[in-house]
Amino acid sequence: MELKQKNQSDNNFEDVLDLFEIDHVYANEPIKRIINEPNLEDKQSLLEKLKDKILNIADCELKKNSTQIVFGDGDPQSPIMIIGEGPGQKEDEMGKPFVGDAGALLNKMLEAINIKRPKIYITNVVNFRPPNNRKPEPSEINRYSAFLREHINIINPKILILMGSTAMEALYGQTLKISKERGKWKELIVNQNTYETILTFHPAYLLRQPDQKKYSWADLKMIRKRIDELKISI
């Protein structure tokens, strides 16, 4: 598909493009990868079991200071999975990821590449709100990474989008910098399954640093291109 340009008449799309400066486009080519066929077991049942594991986690300060678990949102059968950082106040209140200001921006970002949010699956690295919306500590990221990897295997996406440094650190370690690694296709191996993965900035970061939106727009165009190359219906 071709993305619409600024001079077109779609007012909603015009509003979306105003969020981004679209003169920066990167030409990184995605790497090829092989992904296992989806598990025949019912995903909903597997997700409920995983949710119960997280709910029963012991001695977790995040859990003690949260209203409820924020597990996931969207279509478990989706070929696209987004991973963010952790719940904020709004997410903690509603029990869903990306429902605050960052979630509103995420929705617009997805709309900009003709993706409807209900058609994808979204979760976070940690499933309980960190106090005062702080970044999860390394020990917390490490503790929840096993749950996150199981979550990925259950959804088994064709494209995995990591938003923000916390998601990157949970799955690639703490030696990388997202400013250098964003906008590149990578392979992620989780329990012998291989996932095609791209890193990009978290919407909350873009709200604080709006000058970085042009780079996220470049990443979004790469994602749309790969969706079309893989002939994913979304």
Query: Would you say residue 27 lies in a domain?
Result: no
pLDDT of 53 reads 97
Tens of pLDDT, residue by residue over 94-111, are 999 999 999 999 999 999
Beta-carbon contacts of 212 under 8 Å, excluding residues fewer than 6 positions away, are: 201, 205, 206
pLDDT tier at 38, thresholds 50, 70, 90: low
Q: How far is it, in rounded angstroms, from Cα 173 to Cα 165? A: 10
Structural domain boundaries enclosing 121:
42-229
Pairing of strands 121-124, 73-74: antiparallel
pLDDT tier at 143, thresholds 50, 70, 90: very high
Q: How far is it, in rounded angstroms, from Cα 187 to Cα 208? A: 29
Query: Would you say residue 54 lies in a domain?
Result: yes
By three-state DSSP, how is residue 87 classified? coil
CA atoms within 13 A on the CB side of 43: 17
Over the range 101-128, which residues count as b (16 or more CB within 10 Å of their CB) and which as e? ebbebbbbbbebbebebeebbbbbbbbb
By three-state DSSP, how is residue 100 classified? coil
pLDDT tier at 174, thresholds 50, 70, 90: confident
**159-163: strand order across its sheet:** 73-74, 121-124, 80-84, 159-163, 193-200, 185-190
Q: How far is it, in rounded angstroms, from Cα 127 to Cα 47? A: 13
130: amino acid identity, one letter = P
Query: Would you say residue 186 lies in a domain?
Result: yes
Query: Would you say residue 132 lies in a domain?
Result: yes
Question: Is the predicted pLDDT of residue 59 greater than 60, yes or no?
Answer: yes
Question: Is the predicted pLDDT of residue 141 greater than 60, yes or no?
Answer: yes
Over the range 65-94, which residues count as b (16 or more CB within 10 Å of their CB) and which as e? ebebbbbbbbbeebbbbbbbbbbbebbbeb
Percent of the chain clearing pLDDT 70 (strictly above): 82
Query: Would you say residue 22 lies in a domain?
Result: no
Question: Is the predicted pLDDT of residue 16 greater than 80, yes or no?
Answer: no
Q: How many domains does the chain have?
A: 1
pTM of the entire predicted model: 0.84
pLDDT of 112 reads 97
Question: Is the predicted pLDDT of residue 58 greater than 50, yes or no?
Answer: yes
Over the range 150-183, which residues count as b (16 or more CB within 10 Å of their CB) and which as e? bbbbbbbbbbbbbbbbbbbbbbbeeeeebeebbb
Summary mean pLDDT of the chain: 87
Report which secondary-structure segment, H or E, holds 123. Answer: strand 121-124
Query: Would you say residue 88 lies in a domain?
Result: yes
pLDDT of 199 reads 98
Question: Is the predicted pLDDT of residue 234 greater than 90, yes or no?
Answer: no
pLDDT of 116 reads 95
Cβ atoms within 10 Å, residue 6: 10
Q: How far is it, in rounded angstroms, from Cα 190 to Cα 160? A: 12
CATH code at 80?
Answer: 3.40.470.10
Query: Would you say residue 1 lies in a domain?
Result: no
Q: What is the mean pLDDT of residues 161-183?
A: 94
Question: Which runs of consecutive H residues, i.e. helices, occur in the chain?
Answer: 11-17, 43-55, 61-64, 89-94, 101-112, 138-155, 165-172, 178-181, 203-208, 213-229
Query: Would you say residue 77 lies in a domain?
Result: yes
R_g of the chain computed on alpha carbons: 17
By three-state DSSP, how is residue 142 classified? helix
Tens of pLDDT, residue by residue over 192-226, are 899 999 999 999 999 999 999 999 999 999 999 99
